[in-house]
A and B are shown apart, each in its own frame.
Chain A
Amino acid sequence: MNLLLLLAAPLLTAIAVLLLRNKQQIRWAAFIGSTIQLALAFNLYATYKSARAAGQTTNFIFEKQYNWFPDWNISLHFGVDGIAIAMILLTAFVVIAGVLVSWNVEKMTKEFYFLLILLSFGAYGFFISLDLFVLFFFLEIAVIPKYLLIGIWGSGKKEYSANKLAVMLMGGSALVLVGLLGTYFGSGTKSFDLLQLSSVHIPAHVQSICFPLLFVGFGVFTALFPFHTWVPDGHSSAPTAGSMFLAGISMKLGGYGCLRVAAYIMPDGAKEYANIIIVLSSIAILYGAFATMMQKDLKYINAYSSISHCGFVLLGIGMLTKVSMTGAVMQMVSHGLMTALFFAVIGMVYERTHTRQVDEMGGLLKVMPFISTVLFIVGLCSLGLPGLSGFVAEMTIFVGSWENVDNFHRIATVAACLSIVVTAVYILRAVGKTAMGPMKESYAGLTDARWNERLAAIILIVGILAIGLAPFWMNDLLR
């Protein structure tokens, strides 16, 4: 399959959205566009499987290289492996769900969908790029849409959050940039190409300087402690689809970047700094979990729990075993789907009750059975119930971590395991309080989910179940 299709689909959708005038037409255009993206992602998966079955053994397949700034040795080099395909599938799922739940955005509909699709364009480009400059380009392309989505359609102290997010992510990018330049000149290749960089041995002193820059830079995107502070503000101020994209896709860009750097370009640097990564990610896991216990606002609950869950991704990478890294990717996909669904549900609830405070709600199960059921599912997934994706991913990470036999790794693993208990506490409390208990009288006339919301939720739940009940295909893909 030609990977450029993955870029062309969102681009054409964005152009279509720009040209159309009627709001209803714009929505449908965006929906059709995202359906095509989903179809392309599935097609990519299928062709990948058959290519592998036919005996393609190179790391990356469907490679294509086009000249772009040859003077700097930069080329549009695209290619995918199993990890990239998993992320592309995730992106396609979240995009279509995001488009569906934003169906009733009335304020500047055209701009809203345009930015949403631009964001997905950046994500696809990021996941298929094998040239680090191009990867960086796509990483930054998403800054404008994120900023505007939060600032214009957000709620609460949205300007503050949008600024904080943009500036902090830009800070991450600046570190990545310096790291990239260090690699470019230090590796002796004068090349940004991932394959070329992974084939040469980058000198140890370059790795020990550039690895932390790159890792922390990407880590900012995925809420690496102590650079996680944009997460709660950004997520809670963003509009529903914005939060879904931020937590579901954007945070994964960082995780993916960290993984590529640690596993492909600078394995020595990763070994050198692995312990620090493990400590930081364990802190993030525990800190995120405990901080969530104190939150009253549903969006804040999910935002802080995202810090905790993304900590698992970094923990998996830091443990440096094959299984734990597989688990990290699974956790990225699982968390992406789950958190997108969680934010979608929160949006649905908020639209009806006009509050996100857990204390003010109650008994929603009676008036909105569908929404409340989804809330239960997503909560259970978050706390790692077997049968749902969260369990598979976290379990894989723990198993992989346990392969390291020394005490340090064991203690970190156990500490991370403990967070699951805390997760259970806050999730059950939040979900229980909102969905069960005595119903408020004012909620009597509320309606359940509309078709678009149902469809969005079902699509994401299918994804969660597909990983939770049959993790083998995912495992195959990532091997």
Chain B
Amino acid sequence: MMDFITIMKNDLMLVAIIFLLLFIKLGKGIKNDTLLSIIQLLLLINFVAGFFMNDDYTAFDNMYQTSPVIAFQKSILSLGVYLISLLFSGWLRKSENLTEFFILMLSALLGMFLLLSSSNFLMFYLSLELATIPVAAMANFDLQKKISSEAAMKMILSSAFSSGILLFGISILYGITGTISFAALPALLNGSPIQIMVLVFLFSAFAFKLSIVPFHLWTADVYEGSPFATTSFLSVISKGAIAFVLVSTLYKVFQPMHGVWYTIITVLAIITMIIGNLFALRQQNIKRFLAFSSIAQVGFILVGISSNDSVKGLSSVMYFVLIYVFSNLAAFGVAETIAIYSGKENIGDYNGLYQNNKFLSWVLALALFSLAGIPPTAGFFGKLFLITAGAAKANFAFITIAALNMIVSLYYYLRVVRSVFMDKGETVVEKIPIQPAVKFGLIICGAGIIVTGLWSWVYDYVVGLL
């Protein structure tokens, strides 16, 4: 029994927090500021607790499994959610529905935790739904804005569609193999045409969530319409979780068919990087810009996944997602701080930002350089390890395309840096006040961007788990 509690501590703690919030909502209510601090503290505890007492374990008749690797993946997600609660506290504390927002976000996070731990396609499907539906509600949280409702609508429709495809794939899989357990499946897979069809169906569901081209069409609109906190949750936490699950599904369950999915992944990675990069070139809105850039980043993750190396491939993906949490959240945090003060979210509005807002500008620049993969930021190492892992397959045309895409991405990231540091706006951007919690969050992100890369201990730790 004690095993059960220590091993499932992260999942259970989330449940506890969700219920706590429900009761608070039912009662007289607490002031937003206090409540937010409590939540931040609880999330921090949840994050820290994730590092202790992890072991290989299965429960519920092999429906639930965990291991140090899975626990670390959960910790990355917890860290991301903790950072979100810090970075967007300016918006959150003004929100009338703070409790609901956190209930939804933590439910989605719980869904992702269970998703990571699932070892059966039934559990997998249920937790994937739990991870998706609350996010659609979160997308609608700017209640006064029509565009926000539009985003929620698009999100729910497209994810319902992808769930349908997923379920279809799972049911065919059950029909031909008679099992949906991850452990039993590999022995039954042989790459027959119908199994390839199953793989394609399952993969397209993943591709929807990860917004891999050509399943990316919902991304930019949903990102633009949703409030910043939801957008960043979608683009960082949700993507990270799905990427982890994709790796484990492909490497473990579909290992016998790796020849098939290797082809799928290389082709999609190339298209994803190219389309994501080309569309990012012309975006004016920072959210849409980051949406397309995150599509391109997913293309890079696919390069790492294509290695089919359960040590190098998985470790580089985990390492990259960790870095991506820091870099992308920092960029969103800065954009949110500016948007909440001036209501502006176009890149052109950042002209001359550096003059009065040195801290924000440097954090933004660090984040963008990290996304572009320029040293000394961690993004350099993250991208390089992904590419190196992918290069082990000796498919050099593929690697060259990936490397060339780094040039294109540098160009558009520099566009933002340029407007912050070089361009002169018609009006000087005033000094934007930064709340202490936000500043703390940005400092963590900035430090993370530097330290995660240069200090190789972090990477060694990730590898040590495998």
Where the two chains meet, the residues of A that have a C-beta atom closer than 8 Å to any C-beta of B are 67-72, 133, 137-138, 140-141, 143-144, 147-148, 151-152, 158-159, 162-163, 166-167, 170-171, 174-175, 177-178, 181-182, 184-186, 209
Contacts and interface: CB of A to CB of B under 8 A. Distances in A.
Interface stretch (B256-264, B289-297, B456-464): B456-464
Contact of B418 (A70, A151, A170): A151
A167 B410 contact: yes
A71 B459 contact: yes
Contacts of A162: 414, 418, 422
Interface string B52-66: 000000000000000
B423 A159 contact: yes
Contacts of A144: 369, 374
A69 B380 CA distance: 13
A160 B402 CA distance: 25
B387 to A, nearest CB: 7
Q: Which 9 residue pairs of A and B lie closest in terms of their CB atoms, listed nearest first?
A: A174-B403, A181-B391, A151-B422, A141-B375, A69-B456, A170-B407, A71-B463, A170-B410, A140-B375
B388 A159 contact: no
Contact of A163 (B380, B403, B418, B421): B418
A395 B231 CA distance: 63
B344 to A, nearest CB: 21
A171 B407 contact: yes
Interface string B20-47: 0000000000000000000000000000
A174 B369 CA distance: 16
A167 B411 contact: yes
A72 B385 contact: yes
B422 A152 contact: yes
B422 A178 contact: no
Interface stretch (B93-101, B118-126, B393-401): B393-401
B404 interface: yes
Given A166-B414, A181-B387, 14 more contacts: A67-B456, A71-B459, A137-B375, A143-B374, A144-B369, A162-B414, A162-B418, A167-B407, A167-B410, A174-B400, A174-B406, A178-B396, A181-B391, A181-B396
B375 A163 contact: no
B156 interface: no
A72 B392 CA distance: 12
Contacts of B339: none
Nearest to B462: A71
Contacts of A67: 456
Contact of A158 (B422, B456, B463): B422
A450 B102 CA distance: 64
A303 B404 CA distance: 27
B138 to A, nearest CB: 35
A184 B391 contact: yes
Nearest to A153: B422
B384 interface: yes
B166 to A, nearest CB: 34
B392 A174 contact: no
Nearest to B374: A143
Nearest to B394: A185
B191 interface: no
Contacts of A137: 375-376, 380
Given A137-B380, A143-B374, A166-B414, A159 B422 contact: yes
Contact of A170 (B406, B417, B423): B406
A229 to B, nearest CB: 15
Given A151-B422, A185-B392, A71 B460 contact: yes
A144 B414 CA distance: 10
Nearest to B463: A71
Q: Is the interface of B mostly helix, strand, loop or mixed?
A: helix
Contacts of B399: 178, 181
B315 interface: yes
B374 to A, nearest CB: 5
A287 B376 CA distance: 36
Contacts of B418: 151, 159, 162-163
A185 B393 CA distance: 9
A140 B396 CA distance: 22
A206 to B, nearest CB: 10
A178 B403 contact: yes
Interface in B331-363: none
A143 B417 CA distance: 13
A227 B407 CA distance: 15
Contacts of A68: 456
Contacts of A143: 374
A358 to B, nearest CB: 29
B459 to A, nearest CB: 6
B211 to A, nearest CB: 25
Contacts of B410: 166-167, 170
Best-buried of B392, B394, B403, B459 by chain A (most CB within 10 Å): B403
A164 to B, nearest CB: 10
A71 B406 contact: no
A303 B374 CA distance: 26
10 contacts: A69-B381, A137-B376, A140-B374, A141-B376, A147-B417, A148-B421, A167-B410, A178-B403, A181-B387, A181-B399
A159 B400 CA distance: 28
A449 to B, nearest CB: 30
A182 B376 contact: no
Interface in B216-237: none
Given A141-B376, A163-B411, A163-B414, A71 B315 contact: yes
A174 B404 contact: yes
A105 B402 CA distance: 40
A151 B416 CA distance: 13
Nearest to B408: A167
Contacts of B374: 140, 143-144
Contacts of B381: 69
Contacts of B407: 167, 170-171, 174
Best-buried of A72, A152, A163, A186 by chain B (most CB within 10 Å): A72
A158 B423 CA distance: 11
A60 to B, nearest CB: 23
Contacts of B463: 71
A140 B380 contact: yes
A184 B411 CA distance: 28
Contacts of A182: 391, 396
Interface string B307-340: 0000010010000000000000000000000000
A69 B461 CA distance: 11
Contacts of B369: 144
A178 to B, nearest CB: 5
Contacts of B388: 72, 181, 184
Contacts of B423: 159
A254 B323 CA distance: 30
B362 to A, nearest CB: 10
Nearest to A210: B396
Best-buried of B374, B380, B460 by chain A (most CB within 10 Å): B374
Nearest to B373: A140
Nearest to B376: A141
A152 B414 CA distance: 13
A12 to B, nearest CB: 16
A133 B388 CA distance: 11
Contacts of A174: 400, 403-404, 406-407
A163 to B, nearest CB: 6
